[in-house]
Amino acid sequence: MSEELHHVRLHVNGVAHDVAVPPRRLLSDALRHELGLTGTHVGCEHGVCGACTVLVDGRPMRSCLMFAVSAVDCEITTVEGLTNADDSLGPVQQAFLECHGLQCGFCTPGFMTTITAGLEENPSPTEDEARDMIAGNLCRCTGYQNIVKSVLRAAELRDAETTRAQP
């Protein structure tokens, strides 16, 4: 039983990748194993934990619930794409560093992609809104205390960046 391969082009973090994948290959597996972007983690494979969250055309998506072949023509952002152009940490990453928002780091990429999209929609969340923003992701280490702080800090850093960018 040889599996039929589909030749597809995946646009990830601004780079186009041509891959040949069976139709059943999950997007999470394709990112990790075909493209070597192992920052996206798989925690449950049934869409509950959120560790595998990536941005598909800017919207958070569980990459374990999507086939790679379904992601053709989409712009995908993974944790590897959250750094600034000069390779310094992006605002969400920097906030996690400053606030001790991670311990084992396994769930962290999913939180950071989720928060990146969340801040795009609501750049100045209240603490309650910060909680809502991350309410679909599981973390077993931090008790979420410092992740909530990281959301608020990321909003500050992002705001400062935007202010700086304006002439």
Partner 1 sequence: MTTKLFGTRVQRVEDQRFLRGQGRYVDDIDAGPHTLHAAVLRSPHAHAKVLEVHVDDVLDLEGVHAVWTYEDLADLSAPMADPLPLLIPHPTLTHARTQYALANGEVNYVGEAIAFVVADDRYVAEDAVGRIRVDYEVLPPVVGIEAARSATALVHEDVPGNVGARMEQSNGDAPAAIAGAPHVLTLDLTVERSACQPMEGRGTVARWDRDIDRLTVWSSTQTSTGVRAAIAVKLGLDLGQVDVVTPDVGGGFGVKINHPWPEELLVPLAARLLGRPVKFVEDRREHFISSAHERGQVHHVEVGFDDDGRLLGLDVEFWHDHGAYTPYGLIVPIITSTQLLGPYKPGAYRVRFESLFTNTVMVTPYRGAGRPQGCFVMERTMDAIAAYLGKDRADVRALNFIQPDEFPYDQGLIFQDGRALEYDSGDYPASLEKLKALVGWEEFPAFKAEMAAQGRQVGIGLACYVEGTGVGPYEGAHVHIETTGKVKVATGLTTQGQGHATVFAQIAADVLGVPLADVQVVTGDTRRMPYAVGTFASRAAVMSGSAIHLAATRAREKVLRIAADALEASEDDLEITDGVVSVKGAPASSIALGTIAVLSNPLRYAFDEQSKMATQFSVGDPGKPPVAEDDEPGLEGKDFYSPERATFASGMHAVIVETDPLTAEIKILKYAVVHDCGHLINPMIVEGQIHGGVAQGVGGALYERMAYDESGQLLNASFMDFLMPYVTEVPTSIDIDHLETPSPLNPLGIKGAGEAGVIPSAAVFAAAISDAEGFSITSMPISPSELFALRRLHQEEPS
Q: Interacting stretch for partner 1, rule CB under 8 A, among 67-75, 95-103, 115-123, 156-164? A: 95-103
Kindly state the smallest distance separating residue 76's Cβ from partner 1, in Å. 13
Contact between 60 and partner 1 by CB under 8 A: the answer reads no
- Specify the residue, 85 or 163, whose C-beta has the smaller distance to partner 1: 85
Should residue 46 be labelled a site residue for partner 1 when binding is judged by CB under 8 A? Answer: yes
By CB under 8 A, is residue 61 in contact with partner 1?
A: no
Q: Min. distance of Cβ 123 from partner 1 in angstroms?
A: 20
65 closest CA partner among 34, 42, 36, 39? 42
CB closer to partner 1, 20 vs 73: 20
Among 50, 1, 53, 55, CA closest to 24? 1
CA–CA distance, 71 with 79 (Å, rounded to integer): 17
Cβ at position 81, least distance to partner 1 in Å: 9
The CA–CA distances, whole Å, from 93 to 76, 99, 162 equal 18, 10, 16
Instruction: Output 135 or 160, the one with its CB closest to partner 1.
Output: 135
State the minimum distance, in angstroms, from the CB of residue 48 to partner 1: 4
Residues in region 138-167 near partner 1 by CB under 8 A = 138-148
Instruction: Give the residue from 51, 152, 161 showing the smallest Cα distance to 99.
Output: 152
Note whether 85 and 118 are within 8 A (CB): no
**What is 2-52 written as a DSSP string?**
PPP-EEEEEEETTEEEEEEE-TT-BHHHIIIIIS--TTS--SSSSSSS-TT
What is the contact surface with partner 1 in residues (CB under 8 A)?
Answer: 1-2, 22, 24-25, 32, 36-46, 48-49, 51, 78-80, 82-83, 89, 93, 96-98, 100, 102-109, 112, 127, 131, 134-148
